[in-house]
Structure 1
Amino acid sequence: MFYETATGHGLPHDPSKAIVSPRPVGWISTVSASGALNLAPYSFFNMFESDPFLVWFSSSGEKDSATFARETGEFVVNIAGRDLVSKMVASSVDAPRGVSEFGYADLTPEPSRLVKPPRVREALAALECKVTDIMTPKTWSGAECDAVVVSGEVIGVFIDDSVLTDGMFDVVKAGNVARLGYFDYLTVDKVFQMRRPRWKAD
């Protein structure tokens, strides 16, 4: 099949999120200027540079995560493993503003080292971030869309020693969670290596 996005796909469900998958999940913790805590998972999340270490997450509309990050200029990306999937999904509840998802999902806010928002104590890795930009992307016609993209520079990294193997972050031990389409998730349970080819001039 082929469809133009302007006219629709005719399928029972939108396939876009299944096609663009798996997507890493950024479990974003923030704190408002008044001290309210927020925790929410975002599958529109990734890194776009390693030096400096830059990451971003995208919110459909200005939800609490984006609002609080805008207010304080900081956020934390928590990395959920297979043992935390249920609690991560629980934290996506549409709670009223000011209700902490930490408590709702039975999670522990742990003070960060360099930023005000706490990390999730139970998470096996966390990235402490300073906001570098907040933007609203445009369509090809120039119209603004509903997304709010928050980018940040990672200034501190927490890694639980239990997921280090020979000095490397072990994604199989950690069981990093990824989002697929529809209601589907996966966790990492197998890794294989391939080397990038190098051009050899004759």
Structure 2
Amino acid sequence: MRIEYDPEAMGRAAFYRFLTSVVVPRPIAWVSTISSKGGTENLAPHSFFSIASTDPPIVQFTSIGRKDSLRNVEDTGEFVVNFSSESLLELINATAIDYPRSVSEFDTAGIEREASRCVRPPRVATSHVVLECRSHTTLRMGNSTLVFGRVVHAAADEDCIVDERPSSELLRPLTKLGGDEWGTLGEVRHLSRIPYEEPTAN
């Protein structure tokens, strides 16, 4: 027997908890930005994150409400997505605190910075892969804003590269599940895509 759910009857908060427990696992964009006034560096995890386009390369994260990451991207047009690895769980969680905009999560959590090559926001020095982005567009949808950024530069730890691409098994990605649950990689299965073949005439 199924339990039926009506989003309108449940209300926003209750259905949010349901929906984010169903759409799992979700990759985490650990987004670093910088404010236009005072140059405060912000770092925050966003678990609504994906690739929007490959040519040109565009990634997308969603800000629920008007978070500091969104405001900074709107003001400066730049951000960095720092890869979220299993070993960084405690630091990532520490940067999810809703600090005032004038406070830098790099400083409060003791996170080492490194300079980016093409944008102003710093990179997380211990993140295995970083994507430096310039804002492509933003799209308001309900209570959220989708932020699209064109990847203008990327860098990866050479120890995580196998056959000329980053290896998931070496990156050890961290994901978000429902509630306070986080996910780790677990078993990796390799299965090639089956090509379509035209039927042959008899």
- Taking structure 1 as the reference length, the TM-score comes to 0.91
8 Å CA contact 1:172–1:189 kept in 2: the answer is no
Indicate the percent of aligned positions where both proteins have the same amino acid.
33
Mapped pair 1:188 → 2:177: no
Mapped pair 1:52 → 2:49: no
1:87-106 equivalences under 5 Å are: 87-106=91-110
Larger helix share, 1 or 2:
2
Unmatched runs of 5 consecutive residues or more in structure 2: none
Unmatched runs of 5 consecutive residues or more in structure 1: 138-144
8 Å CA contact 2:52–2:148 kept in 1: the answer is no
SS of match in other structure, 2:193: coil
> Could you tell me how far 1:168 is from its partner in structure 2?
2.3
Runs of 4+ in 1 over 6 A off after TM superposition: none
> Could you tell me how far 1:14 is from its partner in structure 2?
2.5
| Aligned pair partner of 1:121 in 104, 125, 132 | 125
> Could you tell me how far 1:157 is from its partner in structure 2?
0.6
1:1-202 equivalences under 5 Å are: 1-8=3-10, 14-34=17-37, 35-137=39-141, 145-202=142-199
Q: CA RMSD in A?
A: 1.6
Q: Alpha-carbon deviations, 1:122-168, whole Å to 9, x = none?
A: 1111100010001101xxxxxxx110111011010110112112322
Letter in 2 for 1:50: T
> Could you tell me how far 1:12 is from its partner in structure 2?
11
CA distance in 1, matches of 2:147, 2:16: 28
Letter in 1 for 2:7: T
Cα pair distance change 1:7/1:105, threshold 3 Å: same
